[in-house]
Amino acid sequence: MNHTFAIHTFGCKLNFSESSDMARRLREQGWSESEQPEAIIVNSCAVTHAAEKKVRNYVAHLHREHPVARIVVVGCYASLRADEIRQWAGVEAVFGNRDKLNAVQWVVGQPIPETPTFFSTYSSNDRTRSFLKIQDGCDYYCTYCTVAAARGESRSDSIEHVLQNIEKIHAEGLKEVNITGVNLGTFGKGTDENFYDLLKAIDRQHLVERVRISSIEPNLLTDEIIHLVSESDILMPHFHIPLQSGSDKILAAMKRRYKTDLFASKITKIKQLMPDACIAIDIIAGFPGETDADFEDSYEFVKQLPLSYMHVFTYSRRPGTPAAAIREQVPETVKRERTNRLLELSETKKRFFYHEHFGETRPVLWESEEADGKMFGFTDNYIKVSAPFCADWVNTIRPYVVEDL
């Protein structure tokens, strides 16, 4: 009998990496993906109230569409509110982040092993790039965030095993690896290895053509890491650095581990060594206690930074977090207004960044997606470009003139 499954993923790239790994393990057990599955795994997110609502609604939708399918919910929502999820119609099993890969054993009916301290995963369902999980968990406990509670303490892979995984990814023909984690800069915690050592080893081994660093805390983005990226042929000039607020008062209330002057110094250092680098940030609008003056300070701070674009988040009140108990909650209408202003600023910065590089010839990794006869790819510094579709170009890196999409 051909057993069938489906996996639905919400949230971050880490979740997508883990979902891809679960799918690969199920296929190795002889199962196949289907639109009419007998088992469904939902990899959940709980970063905002809206994210949780999407998961709840989607599980209800899945149960209506597939009333006899066995539904398994895993991930952050499952870690935080397992008892609640067990009451949902159609849900037969719940696994948190610590043991989410055990969902595979549950689906296929195998004994569930003891959960390891850390499990590595990588995605392989994209023809050009892979998201490789090298670290999990966080010890920072920012006052607005549930991730530390959902993911547990910081823990990570070994350098040797990361390199082995990159070799496997390369053997599958993929050209780019995006190294991911919850708090990447704490890689190696409790060992004699660290994130800089890992990057040096990756650069020295040169196992794939491209490696990108996903989000890294500004206080952990050391000058030696920036220097290494600037001198590397495979570490791409692309940084994603969470700021969260451009107000020192709000950063302190969030219990972030830096001030705006340190953040600005990191941006300056990157641009000094890599003027073409792409720099993205995360920022939150409407944190409790954020006055109009605080927001204007934050807005003006990011406005003057040479950023490429911003991921803008509207503050979401998360039960159990210290920020949820702050009395001075910002009204929803004000949060939306501030969010929209930041989104407009982000779009302005992105257009300027693209315009700076129009006419340049840069290496582009071309993807398999086709839309209206076009294909798309990304430059080394993460500018999206398009060209007439050519099958021979898929999963190749070619010099190409940057033009407006």
Q: How much is the pLDDT for 405?
A: 58
**For range 137-161, the mean pLDDT:** 95
Strand segments, DSSP code E, in 167-276 are: 176-180, 210-213, 238-244
Percent over 70 (pLDDT), the chain: 99
Neighbouring C-beta atoms of residue 114, cutoff 10 Å: 6
Q: How much is the pLDDT for 342?
A: 98
| Bridge partners (DSSP) listed for residue 74 | 43, 95
Lowest mean pLDDT segment, chosen from 146-150, 165-169, 202-206, 284-288: 146-150
- C-alpha closest to that of 145 among 10, 241, 51, 267: 51
* First-residue to last-residue Cα distance in the chain: 48
| Angle between helices 223-231 and 195-205 in degrees, nearest 10 | 10
pLDDT band at 113 (very low <50, low <70, confident <90, very high): confident
How many CA atoms lie less than 13 Å away from 202 in the CB half-sphere?
33
**For range 25-35, the mean pLDDT:** 95
Q: What's the pTM?
A: 0.90
Q: What is the pLDDT of residues 273-325, one digit of tens each?
A: 999 999 999 999 999 999 999 999 999 999 999 999 999 999 999 999 999 99
- 316: tokens are 């979401």
Q: What is the pLDDT of residues 232-281, one digit of tens each?
A: 999 999 999 999 999 999 999 999 999 999 999 999 999 999 999 999 99
- 69: tokens are 């399918």
| Bridge partners (DSSP) listed for residue 33 | 5
Going by the DSSP 8-state scheme, the letter that residue 232 receives in this structure is: -
Q: How much is the pLDDT for 404?
A: 65
Q: How far apart are CA 208 and CA 110, in angstroms?
A: 35
Judge: domain 4-108, CATH 3.40.50.2300: yes
CATH T-level fold of 129-353: pyruvate-formate lyase- activating enzyme (3.80.30)
Q: Is the confidence at residue 125, as pLDDT, over 90? A: no
Q: How much is the pLDDT for 117?
A: 80
Q: How far apart are CA 334 and CA 50, in angstroms?
A: 18
Q: Is the confidence at residue 171, as pLDDT, over 70? A: yes
Q: Is the confidence at residue 330, as pLDDT, over 70? A: yes
φ and ψ of 319, to 5 deg: -55, 135
Q: Is the confidence at residue 114, as pLDDT, over 90? A: no
Q: What is the pLDDT of residues 345-366, one digit of tens each?
A: 999 999 999 999 999 999 999 9
Parallel/antiparallel/unpaired status of strands 155-156 and 135-136: antiparallel
Q: Which residues have CB under 8 Å from 336's CB, separation 6+?
A: 314
**For range 105-109, the mean pLDDT:** 95
Going by the DSSP 8-state scheme, the letter that residue 347 receives in this structure is: H
Alpha carbon separation from 264 to 269, 299, 301, 304 (Å, rounded): 9, 14, 9, 10
pLDDT band at 136 (very low <50, low <70, confident <90, very high): very high
